[in-house]
Structure 1
Amino acid sequence: MADPEHRLGEFLEKIRADLDRSVRFWQTHSHDVQCGGFFICLGEDGHVYDETKYTWLEARQVWMYARLYNEVDRFKTAEMLEAAENGGKFVLAHMKRQDTGKCYLSLTRQGLPLKTQRTIFSECFYLMAMSELHRATGDAQYREEAVAMMSRILCWVREDDSGLGREKLAGNTPVSSLAVPMMLLCLIDQLTTMDPALAANYDETEQWCLEEVNKHVQRNGTVVLENVTPDGKELPGSAGRLMTPGHAIEAGWFLLQIAKTKGDKTLQTLAIDTFITTSFSRGWDPEFGGLFYFVDVDGESPVQLEWDMKLWWGHNETMIAMLMAYTETGDTKLLANFATVFDYSYSHFVDTAHGDWYGYLNRRGEITHKFKGGPWKGFFHLPRCLMMCEKMLEDLIKRKQ
């Protein structure tokens, strides 16, 4: 393999072309001009195979269009803004219950509710969509929706979760999930990007989130567990041994962004050495390449039947994390890791013929699901990764010239 520092131009060229293909694919095939919003379930060539609208992905696509419009010059077009706004109107009209503030998980094509999830994540993506739309349009309604939703989410997480609808069964064991504090850190970043004056409102919450995330670092920093007890101890059983490498690595780049903003070298070290590098080492398949979906940290067989699959989003998050870590430190080992993930991804996931990536591979790297969009895959992880990596690579190349 060539020295990865000599490949920066190659990485940039391929990633930029890939982002353009992905945008084109979703703009061409996903827009529902009759009912509003987006078709999510798209086949390999972009045909709609199911009209169900999954709200995580509806809201994420609104966010992605608005973020591309806001931050990437070639996407600052009337077409991109119109697509974001049209999707935002559908989300605003149909995703949230007016009586409780809870968001639905899935809708019919016309926007009628199908399912609700007893977690905070549909609401998180609703907030992200509204916040980024406010950045793009200046419409105060979107800002108000975002800030109000943050208040509800914080109440559910830190004060009273009864509004989530979870029944408290007799054997219930309280659990701290890594997903919750890392998602709140993402929301704080989103809201303060929208309005820097809001930062002071969330200082205490950010500190609480950092402490909660740190509880998941166990065994002297050698593992980042998905679930721990509320006081930061390991849980018994398979749930307590569970590690999701892509998730831990994603949390790592969230932490790295905060470390950069605060000039916190200790947090930078934790983010890079533990969340990113250690999780990558534990998660990378030494036999076939690619990042495992789940890992049992004691070497038992994970109970998740799909544990050894290779999913697109974990590779996306690892590309972001490794390139960001290299950008911050100049450590060429981190760039070599980026190159490893890049090469695996571009030889397994990418569909240059139709656009976008396949999402699901078996352990050997063979495609198991040919669709480009489904209940948990849409226009988000991939374009976010490509957009962020394109910007970092542009900056790195300028720095080295």
Structure 2
Amino acid sequence: MDLQVLQCWHKRISQELDVVMDFWLRHSHDEEYGGFFTCLSQDGKVYDDLKYVWLQGRQVWMYSRLYRKVPRFRRPELLQAAQAGGEFLLRHARVSPTSQKCAFALTRDGRPVKIQRTIFSECFYVLGLDELGRATGELRYQREALTMMEAIVHWVREDHSELGRPDLTGAVPHDSMAVPMMLLNLVDQLSEGDAETANRFSELGSWSAQRIIMHVQRNGTAVLENVSEDGKELPGCMGRQQNPGHAIEAGWFLLRYAQRQLDSALLSQAVEKFMKQPFYSGWDSEHGGLFAFQDVNGLCPTQLEWKMKLWWPHTEAIIAFLMGFAETRDQELLKLFNQVAEYTFAKFSDSERHEWFGYLTQEGKVALTIKGGPFKGCFHVPRALYICEEILESLIREAESTSHD
């Protein structure tokens, strides 16, 4: 390990985390109703005051995690904002007192505007409230998170009728990788430092990991976004769809799970099949950056944004390659981390007005100047910077102790 390189990246990433968090602290807080504005223009002005439940939960998680884990962020205003966000979720996220179903979008004062027939609003509700409970020491947040988690598991594994998704005769039942990925991430969150909860969700963690692995298809040469419920390739565009960033994100989720389970075979599979392989097939050799979508047969994908470069696949790749390197010391992973990080900082980071752009053309030009919207909030960018800072600190400590021996 080159200590100087690690120190350089640590300094760069730490400074970027400070700048990114300052942007959200200055521009996103709704002091009147609680919660956060996420539809922010390039300079931080609010262009729409709708509040998206999954982004509220993500920002509560981000603030709470930084407050709890990073000494320089242990500031009262950060925890107060997280708690105001958590209370906003408790008051308004669920669309009915008799249901666990959460809205997708709310008005500024918390009235439901839109529901999605998925589990993701609820999943980020769990993520945010559990972390808020850890940061504040108030058990009521974690109790609420566990109650919602039980509802999510019921919808996924037993009865999805409350999601409002009818079973249509022409629809092929399928397994979307996003669902087991999200559940594995929640198991990781809820189990941290809690043997009883870890034991409670141990079977769910194993089930989720196995469901993710089912998406490795074509004799191990591709990760497909959707497969049949018994792990077979599906016909048509949906079956051929690849999402390189999603596969790489699944890779580091599986890596963390494999570390906890001491499962070296799964760890190797996470690195080789979910990190390296999707990267090499998904990287644009002409312009750099990861494609948003691909077709495994090389046909033109149907998603209009398929060849755009989106912020979040790159943040996931930065985490995955650095985490993979820290675990395996595979120099190829460190090289890939450098490659993606250099591209990402050069293209997405807005050095003038701070935070990151989210949407670039294939050539790497800014396509949308907004800093936040219905899908991009205070999460993927600061999460990647925080995790990478933590990993780099550990690698630097190790390198310094080795140099002193």
Normalised by the shorter chain, which TM-score bucket? over 0.9
CA contact (8 A) 1:132 1:194 kept: no
Give RMSD over aligned pairs: 1.1
What residue is the counterpart of 1:334 in the other structure?
333
Which amino acid counterpart does residue 18 of structure 2 have in structure 1?
A: D
TM-superposed CA distance for 1:305, in Å, is 1.0
Query: Which portions of structure 1, spanning 4 or more consecutive aligned residues, are displaced by more than 6 angstroms?
Result: none
What residue is the counterpart of 1:355 in the other structure?
354
CA distance in 1, matches of 2:85, 2:194: 22
> Does 1:21 pair with 2:38?
no
TM-superposed CA distance for 1:8, in Å, is 1.3
> Does 1:80 pair with 2:78?
yes
CA distance in 1, matches of 2:377, 2:61: 12
TM-superposed CA distance for 1:342, in Å, is 0.6
For each residue in 1:127-183, what CA deviation from the matched residue of structure 2 results, as whole angstroms up to 9, or x when unmatched?
011100110112121111111011100100000000100122220110100001111
CA distance in 2, matches of 1:86, 1:194: 25
Which of 67, 73, 78 is the aligned partner of 1:69? 67
CA distance in 2, matches of 1:381, 1:249: 14
CA contact (8 A) 1:5 1:335 kept: no
CA contact (8 A) 1:66 1:81 kept: yes
Q: Taking structure 1 as reference, are residues 194 and 106 closer, same or farther at Cα in structure 2, changes over 3 Å only?
A: farther
For each residue in 1:28-69, what CA deviation from the matched residue of structure 2 results, as whole angstroms up to 9, or x when unmatched?
000011121111100001011111111111111011000101
What residue is the counterpart of 1:374 in the other structure?
373
Secondary structure at the counterpart of residue 93 of structure 1? helix
Secondary structure at the counterpart of residue 47 of structure 2? strand
CA distance in 1, matches of 2:195, 2:30: 34
CA distance in 1, matches of 2:182, 2:189: 10
Matches within 5 A, 1:2-401: 6-97=4-95, 98-193=97-192, 195-401=194-400
CA distance in 1, matches of 2:223, 2:308: 20
Secondary structure at the counterpart of residue 114 of structure 2? strand
TM-superposed CA distance for 1:76, in Å, is 1.1
CA distance in 1, matches of 2:111, 2:164: 20
* TM-score of the two chains, using structure 1 as the length reference: 0.98
For each residue in 1:295-326, what CA deviation from the matched residue of structure 2 results, as whole angstroms up to 9, or x when unmatched?
11110000111100000000000000000000
CA distance in 2, matches of 1:9, 1:183: 32
CA distance in 2, matches of 1:150, 1:342: 34
CA distance in 2, matches of 1:126, 1:329: 33
Bigger shift: 4-13 or 281-290?
4-13
TM-superposed CA distance for 1:207, in Å, is 1.4
Secondary structure at the counterpart of residue 104 of structure 1? coil
CA distance in 2, matches of 1:337, 1:366: 22
Which amino acid counterpart does residue 247 of structure 2 have in structure 1?
A: A
Which amino acid counterpart does residue 7 of structure 1 have in structure 2?
A: V
CA distance in 2, matches of 1:235, 1:397: 46
CA contact (8 A) 1:4 1:336 kept: no
CA distance in 1, matches of 2:298, 2:71: 47
Q: Taking structure 1 as reference, are residues 250 and 4 closer, same or farther at Cα in structure 2, changes over 3 Å only?
A: farther
CA contact (8 A) 1:294 1:307 kept: yes
CA distance in 2, matches of 1:210, 1:385: 22
Which amino acid counterpart does residue 73 of structure 1 have in structure 2?
A: P
For each residue in 1:228-257, what CA deviation from the matched residue of structure 2 results, as whole angstroms up to 9, or x when unmatched?
000110000011010100000000000001
For each residue in 1:326-373, what CA deviation from the matched residue of structure 2 results, as whole angstroms up to 9, or x when unmatched?
001111110000000011011100012222100000100000000101
Secondary structure at the counterpart of residue 340 of structure 2? helix
CA contact (8 A) 1:227 1:240 kept: yes
How high is the sequence identity, in percent, across the aligned residues?
A: 51
TM-superposed CA distance for 1:281, in Å, is 0.6
CA distance in 1, matches of 2:214, 2:13: 35
TM-superposed CA distance for 1:6, in Å, is 4.4
CA distance in 2, matches of 1:23, 1:204: 36
CA distance in 2, matches of 1:10, 1:266: 33
CA contact (8 A) 2:3 2:396 kept: no
* TM-score of the two chains, using structure 2 as the length reference: 0.97
Number of matched residues?
A: 399
For each residue in 1:237-288, what CA deviation from the matched residue of structure 2 results, as whole angstroms up to 9, or x when unmatched?
0110101000000000000011111211101100000000001011100000
